[in-house]
Amino acid sequence: MKIACVQSDVVYGDPAANAARAVAEIERLAADGVNVVVFPEAFLTGYCAASAEDARAIAIPAEHPAIESLCQAADRFGMLIVAGFAERARDALFNSACILEGSKPPRFYRKAHLPELGLDKYVTPGSALPVFETAFGKIGVLICFDLRIPEATRVLALAGAEVLFLPTNWPQGAEVSAEHMCIARAAENRIFVATCDRVGEEGGFRFIGRSKIIAPSGAVLAAAGDGEETIVAEFDPAQARTKRSVIDPGRFETDTFATRQPELYRSLVEPLVKP
């Protein structure tokens, strides 16, 4: 798998312009042998809605021409593409990511864990954590704040995900997620993690970039700064199937999953009792 994370600015409320830029990037990256391309959270629509009315105004249906243009690009180049957008589905709004692969029908993930920020103040939380079977391995998709809830990544890893894609909009103040939590999620689950943040300003927020592609060991394979930039890394997702680390054979070995004690974790799924 050769993956690219396109860290870019976004045109608020203009899916056609954002999709056109995405297609141009996809064409360029395909020529370089990239077969997986990830774009930021809410890339097609923008994120910083100031009201429920604003959120509804920027949201698009899953059948929108902007998404169709990315589907066509995925089919033309035989690629896997992940991109975020504000989704309108009947009377509900979601913070979603489309997962587009070759000629397959589009698949979608809806953000499950919501901060009190921008679009997320006005959407319905998603209700599933699927693992997607692809020609490039088993992948999981989370969006931005989903990463802060460690159980979400662990559920995907236990279900066989080899790579986690995280489209995100990290604003100033979220540096710990960009610099530390994504690395921790990769290492504690022994999976590859690719984060794709946006940059620029929108609705009074400045986004920090710092996208990363991380190995199961926690080693950073590629990292971006705080401007527009595309990072690329190549790896074999099958490496994430091995959960055992052998530092010194027979003397220092660890197994991330075999040593779990699920009976000790029952409180994780109990309702939170507020004082």
Say how far apart CA 235 and CA 62 lie, in whole Å.
31
Whether 46 and 40 have beta carbons less than 8 Å apart is answered as: no
Whether 40 and 10 have beta carbons less than 8 Å apart is answered as: yes
Sheet holding 163-167, edge to edge: 131-134, 137-141, 163-167, 192-196, 212-214, 220-223
Q: Note if 5 is an active site residue.
A: no
Which is catalytic among the residues 5, 71, 111, 162?
A: 111
Say how far apart CA 151 and CA 268 lie, in whole Å.
8
Q: Note if 228 is an active site residue.
A: no
Say how far apart CA 90 and CA 100 lie, in whole Å.
22
Whether 100 and 70 have beta carbons less than 8 Å apart is answered as: yes
Q: Classify burial at 273, counting beta carbons within 10 Å of its beta carbon; exposed 0-12, middle 13-18, buried 19 or more.
A: exposed
Q: Where are the alpha helices (DSSP H) in the chain?
A: 15-31, 52-58, 65-77, 150-158, 175-176, 182-189
Distances (CA, A) of 258 to 161, 200, 219: 16, 43, 22
Among candidate residues 35, 272, 51, 62, the one with its CA nearest the CA of residue 151: 272
Report DSSP letters for 157-169, one per residue.
Answer: HHTT-SEEEEE--
Which is catalytic among the residues 5, 25, 41, 87?
A: 41
Q: Note if 41 is an active site residue.
A: yes
Which is catalytic among the residues 71, 98, 144, 196?
A: 144
Residues carrying an active site annotation: 41, 111, 144
